[in-house]
Structures are given as structure tokens and as C-alpha cells.
Amino acid sequence: MIAEVGHFALFLALAMAFIGAVFPSIGLARRDGFLSHLAGPAVLAQFVFVLIAFLALLYGYVVSDFSILAVANNSHTMKPMIYKVSGVWGNHEGSLLLWALVLTGFSSAVALFAHNLPHSFKARVLSVQSGIAFGFLAFTLFTSNPFARLDPAPLEGSGLNPLLQDPGLAFHPPVLYVGYVGFSIAFSFAIAALIEGRITAAWARWVRPWTLVAWIFLTSGIALGSWWAYYELGWGGWWFWDPVENASFMPWLAGTALVHSVIVVEKREALKAWTVLLAILTFSLSLLGTFLVRSGVLTSVHAFAVDPARGVFILAFLFIVVGGSLTLFAIRGGSLKPGGFFAPISREGALIFNNLFLVTALATVFFGTLYPLFIDAIFGEKLSVGPPYYNLTFVPLMVPVVAAMAIGPLMPWKRADLEGILGRLKFMALIALAAAFGIWAYVGDGSLFALLGLLMGLWLAGGVLFDIAQKARMGKMKASGSLHRLASQPRSQWGMWLAHFGVAVAIFGITASEAWTSERLAIMTLGSSQEVAGYEFTLDKVWPVAGPNYSAVRARFQVSKNGEPVASLEPEQRIYNSPTRQTTEAGIRTLALGDLYAVIGDASPAGGWSVRLYFKPLVAWLWGGAFLMMLGGLMSLSDRRLRIVVARKKALAPSSVAAE
């Protein structure tokens, strides 16, 4: 019964989406105030109905109602409650419902909180949002009904993929979706601007906070996903350039470019058409990601149960949304006139440089991801593109981006003196170079790639610190005065410093862990020891453990260095009983200089266990860096200029009047 309520609520949401997409547009065309005012209530109603549907499905999972097909296929009574809940979105049908919930949630946030938007503009934004919601709800209802019944109901469900039964992965999809779907707002703003044929600095101020929110969530979703891969998949890697990873990374690259180009629109009223295009591109890539994961056109470890009928639907949807918006862009893009003059050597010039390289890097990832498909489509050959391709294309493109990241923020708007800035950075560059060589020679045994990585990280970190010192006039006035100057810097300035510094930290983590990981594969008997990077791993104990829905073999390694105990690691090998599947839980301890990482494998017939032991220097810095980037985003979001509540109070600032 509850499932039918959910199913029915979903149909009502679909109807509301239709009303919200069509009526406001008619209202605006006919200057009918009643119809155009329907936009807000329609998205709120969508949200309420999708929420009811979502709660109904959640209820089905919580009480293990196996007469619902999706529950029977993905849940199990023995599963811990947290995974019953996360099981809701751990499969195709439920994840679509979550997607729709987040989407209508975002639309409702715009309807409720964006009071400073001109009425017609807001109505257009909301009607575009409703249109997207209509597509997703129709997709859910007609190809992937989460409430489909199963008769007779089985006594027991078949369980959730054990790899997904993990706290990190329970929250990875929702966070990622908030990121993906959040970019729909930037998209809708871009479409509304194209229809109205005008973009102003105020437009950029409206778009920026929504884009930042989406970017922060996407960053954290990707970081969570890679962290999960690191400790759960048990071979110590954290990024595999898998099509599905790329599917989330491509919108991130486009979104990063967008976050930067919006600033140029705000400050200089330039780069308007480009920014609109980026907004369309970012959301289109989010949709493409959905298509790639669910249609089965690419093979991936992540793929959902694939179904070509769904693929056809999403592709048609992709053609309407992306094709439609790009057609609109082709017609109207030319009318977005830039204001003011433009000099290449300037802050805006540096941001364009950043955008060009980010988008080129995006193109290489896009090409690498879809190349196997293109080759298969044209020549009928099967092949796969692996990390060597990305190391050759993506990594070199990041070098100029990072190099410019240290210089760009030092440039003023309009016109900058590059020679002067480079002159001032000379000293810092020398220190970075000397330090990079020093570390590289001291650690030893590193590749040229490692040296480059160290240099880039130090250069960027140094550039950020140099910028901070300059803004504080450090050394040119009393320390208290400098501190005061720092404290009075706008939050968006601090956000930029934090985020850029986070990139430097992440570069250190990537470089050190890629270049200097020590690894040992061995068969160990109880009491025997293995040495990895100066750490002595002793296999202390191995014993069976019973979990709620798995049985496991757990091992304990005592790790010591120079006779001093350092840590005790307890990796597990689990056999889940429904569905039967073996998973590894790595034993990890993060030390100041790196991670100790141990995996226990099968028992060897000759006695003993096969084990894998690693020392991964600085690998935790990677996620530390990602955390700093998110923090930077949050800091920037809290800046007065962008705060939605404040903006509401000053709704009639001159720039927003100009957009009326």
C-alpha cells in the first residue's frame, strides 16, 4: 500500500513538473501574471511529492518489504540498518529517485531563497528546472519504476553488493548527486540568460553561490569515492581512470573552470558567452555521466544493471537538453556583448588561461573515456584506454595550470605587469627549486616526474604564501598591522588561498605516494616479520570473526621501527553470505610521513597467509588537500557579497535593477 502511495506521488510530481515547465513560459509570453507565478509553487509541489515517494521507498527498505522488486533485489533482512537505508540509492531505480529528490530540492531552494531575482528571470529559471525534473521523473516512472511489485514476494532479498556495504560508500552517492544536480542551477540560469539575451554582473553574482555549492559537494563526493577505493579495494590505489570515475571528474573540471570564469563576468563583464557555454557544458557532462553509467555503452567496475532501453531514453533526453541548449546558444550566444576593454596580461587574462587549460584537460579525459566507444563504433575493435594515456596527456596539461595558479592571483584586474611580478617571485622560485631538488635528492630513488611534482607543489604553495605576505604587507609594517590587514581580507580571498593551497597539498600527496610507495607481497606464517620502508611488520595473530552478514578472517600485524612499536594493524578478508562475495578491508594507520597499509589474503596451502604490505608516503595529504579545497569553497561561499540573505536585503542594488 505504502509503495502505491509512493508510486502515485511520483506521478503527481511528474504532472507538477509538466505544469512548472510549460505554464510559466506561456505566462511570460502572454504577459499572464497568474501563469508565470505558477513556477514557484510547481517546483515546491514537485519536491513534496518526490519526498513522499522517497520516504515510501525508504520505508520499504527499512521494513524489508520484499514484495517491492527493487527491495528484493538489493536488500536483505540480515543487513545492518545503515546499509538498508543506503541500499535505497545503491541501485539504479533508487538512485534515480534520489537524483530527482536533490533536483527538486535545489529548485525549491531557488524558489524560496532567491528573492532578489527579477520575476521573469526567476520564472524562466524555475521552468527550465521543471523541464529537467520532468525528464528525470518520466525516465524513472517509465523505464525504472522503483515501486514495481514482485509477486509472489520472496522470503529473503538477494542483498546489496558487499563492496557497497561500507560507511564511506553509503554517503558517496548522495554527496556526488548534490554536486551533479547542483550544476543544473547554473545551467538553468544560463538558459534563462540566453532567452532574455542579456548577462550582467548581477547574473554572475546570482550564479556563483549555487555553482560553488555544487562544486564543493562534487569535490567532496569525488574525494569520498577515491578514499573508498583506497581502503576497500585493497590494492592501495585511489584513482583508476575508470569511465565512471571520469564521468564525475569531467563535470568537476568544467565546474572548476566555471567557478573561475564567473568571477570574470562579475568583475569585468567579459567572457559572457564562454561562461554560459561552460554552465551548459558542466551540467551536460553530469547528464552524460548518468548516460555512461546506466546505458552499458562502456564497461566499468561501477556499472549499474544496464539496460539498452534506458540507454535510448537517456540519450534522447541528452539530445533534447544538450542539443536544445546548444542550439539556443548558437542562435543567441552572439548577442551576449562583452563590456569594457580586455588586456591579455591581467587577472582576467590569467583566468582565461586557467579556463583554456582546464577545458583542454577536460577534452583529453573526455576523449580517453569515449575513445574505446568511438573505435568500437567506427572500426568494430575493442580496446581500453588506461593510466598511461592520462599520464601522457592530462598530467602535462596540469603543469601550466599549476604554474599559472601561483602567478594569476598576484595580477591586478585590467592590466598587470607580468615582468614585475615574475621579478618579485624570483626569490620564491629559487627557494622552491632548491627545496624540490633537496627533498628529491634526500629521499633519493625518485623519477623526474617526482621532481616535477615536488617543484609544482612547492611553487604553488610558495606562491600562495607570497600572496598572503604581500596582502598583509609583511615586513613593511608592524606585525599587528599585518595581522589586522589579513583579518580584514574578504572571505572570498581567504577561500581562494585555502583552495589553492589545498591543490598544492594534494600535489604533494599524489607525487610522494606515486613515487615512493614501498610494497611487499609475501607469504607470512604466524610470528614471522617483513620489512617495508624501514618498518617491521610482524604477523601476530590470525583469527576468524563473525559479522552481522559476513564471516571474516582478521589478522593482526604489529608494526615497529627500530624496535619501537609504532602501530597495530588489523586487516580483514570478508566473505559476505548474500550475495556471496569476498571483500578486503585494509588495515591502515596514518603516520606523520605516510600510511602503513596491510591486506590479508588467502591462506596458502603450504601454511601461512599471502599478505600485501605497503608504506605509502603522504598519501593522506591527497584527501587533506581535497578537504582544504572544500573549506576554501565554503569560505568563499560565506563571503558577504555572495550571501543570499544579505543580497536579499539589498535586492535593489543598481546592478540588479539593470537586469530587470
What CA–CA distance (Å, rounded) separates 187 from 190? 5
Nearest Cα to 39, choosing from 126, 135, 159? 126
**Does residue 527 belong to the site contacting another protein (CB under 8 A)?**
no
Q: Kindly tell me which of 580 and 655 has the beta carbon lying closer to another protein.
A: 580
Q: How many residues bind another protein (CB under 8 A)?
A: 40
Instruction: Specify the length of the chain in residues.
Output: 660
Q: Which three cell numbers stand for residue 501?
A: 593551497
- Which CB sits closer to another protein, 215 or 313? 313
Spatial contact of 60 and 17, defined as CB atoms under 8 Å apart: no
Residue 449 binds another protein, judged by CB under 8 A? no
Output 157 or 174, the one with its CB closest to another protein: 157
CB of residue 72 to another protein, shortest distance in Å: 15
Nearer to another protein, 233 or 315 (CB): 315
What residues does 589 pair with on adjacent strands? Answer: 596
By CB under 8 A, residue 551 contacts another protein: no
What is the grid cell recorded at 17? 513538473
Subset of 585-614 contacting another protein (CB under 8 A): 602, 605
Give the whole-angstrom CA distance, residue 376 versus residue 383: 8
- Binding residue for another protein, selected from 163, 418, 451, 575, defined by CB under 8 A: 575
Binder among 297, 504, 586, 596 for another protein (CB under 8 A): 297
318: contact with another protein by CB under 8 A: yes
Using rule CB under 8 A, residue 502 touches another protein: no
Q: What is the Cα Rg of the chain in Å?
A: 27
Q: Which stretch binds another protein (CB under 8 A): 37-45, 113-121, 574-582, 650-658?
A: 574-582
Under rule CB under 8 A, residue 312 binds another protein: yes
Q: How far is the CB of 95 from another protein (least distance, A)?
A: 20
- Residue ranges in 357-386 that form contacts with another protein under rule CB under 8 A: 370, 372-374, 376-377, 382
| The residue to which cell 606515486 is assigned | 514
Q: Contact with another protein (CB under 8 A): which of 582, 590, 610, 638?
A: 582
b/e sequence 188-208, b meaning 16+ C-beta within 10 Å? bbbbbbbbbebbbbbbbbbbb
90 is an interface residue for another protein by CB under 8 A: no
Report the SS3 class of residue 340: coil
The CA distance from 255 to 436, in Å, is: 31
Q: Minimum distance between the CB of residue 331 and another protein, rounded to whole angstroms?
A: 5
Q: How far is the CB of 274 from another protein (least distance, A)?
A: 11
Smaller CB separation from another protein, 138 or 603: 603
- Does 313 participate in binding another protein (rule CB under 8 A)? no
Long-range contacts of 393-397 (CB under 8 A, 24+ apart): 393/364, 393/368, 394/361, 394/364, 394/365, 394/368, 395/449, 397/357, 397/360, 397/361, 397/364
In this structure, what C-alpha cell is assigned to residue 319? 539530445
Question: How far is the C-alpha of 429 from the C-alpha of 436, rounded, in Å?
Answer: 10
By beta-carbon proximity to another protein, the closer residue of 154 and 323 is 323
- 3-state SS of 113-141? HCCCCCHHHHHHHHHHHHHHHHHHHHHHH
Q: Is position 615 an interface residue for another protein (rule: CB under 8 A)? A: no
Which span sits near another protein by CB under 8 A: 107-115, 309-317, 430-438, 638-646?
A: 309-317
Q: 372 vs 446, which CB is nearer to another protein?
A: 372
The answer to the question of residue 299 lying near another protein (CB under 8 A) is yes
State how far the alpha carbon of 303 is from the alpha carbons of 13, 289, 299, 316, 375, in Å.
Answer: 28, 11, 7, 20, 20
Nearer to another protein, 107 or 583 (CB): 583
By the rule CB under 8 A, 311 interacts with another protein: yes
Of 580, 593, 648, 660, the residue at the interface with another protein (CB under 8 A) is: 580
**Beta pairing class for 564-569 and 587-590:** unpaired
Work out which of 75, 86, 129, 295 binds another protein, going by CB under 8 A.
295
Strands across the sheet containing 609-617: 518-524, 609-617, 594-603, 587-590
Q: How far apart are CA 257 and CA 261, in angstroms?
A: 6
In contact, 613 and 530? CB cutoff 8 Å: yes
Interface residue with another protein, options 554, 581, 589, 643 (CB under 8 A) = 581
Choices 4-12, 320-328, 418-426, 561-569; region in contact with another protein by CB under 8 A: 320-328
DSSP codes, 585-636: E-EEEE-SSEEEEEEEEEEPTTSSEEEEEEEEETHHHHHHHHHHHHHHHHHH
Residue from 340, 396, 420, 579 touching another protein (CB under 8 A): that is 579
Q: Does 331 bind another protein (CB under 8 A)?
A: yes
If binding is defined by CB under 8 A, does position 319 make contact with another protein?
yes
The region of 10-18, 305-313, 398-406, 422-430 touching another protein under the rule CB under 8 A is 305-313
650 contacts another protein (rule: CB under 8 A): no
Scanning 83-91, 326-334, 401-409, 526-534 for contacts with another protein by CB under 8 A, the matching segment is 326-334
Residue closer to another protein (CB basis): 280 or 586: 280
Q: Give least dist CB 327 to another protein, A.
A: 6
In sequence order, what DSSP letters do the residues of 447-497 get, joined into one string? -HHHHHHHHHHHHHHHHHHHHHHHHTTBTTB-HHHHHHHHHTS-HHHHHHH
Residue selected from 2, 315, 345, 634 as contacting another protein according to rule CB under 8 A? 315
Q: Does 242 interact with another protein (rule: CB under 8 A)?
A: no
Least CB distance to another protein at residue 243 (A): 10
User: Least distance to another protein from the beta carbon of 333, Å?
Assistant: 4
State which of positions 385-414 bind another protein (CB under 8 A).
none
448 class by beta-carbon count within 10 Å (0-12 exposed, 13-18 middle, 19+ buried): exposed
Q: What are the residues binding another protein (CB under 8 A)?
A: 273, 277, 280-281, 284, 291, 295-299, 308, 311-312, 315, 318-319, 322-323, 326-327, 329-331, 333-334, 370, 372-374, 376-377, 382, 575, 579-582, 602, 605
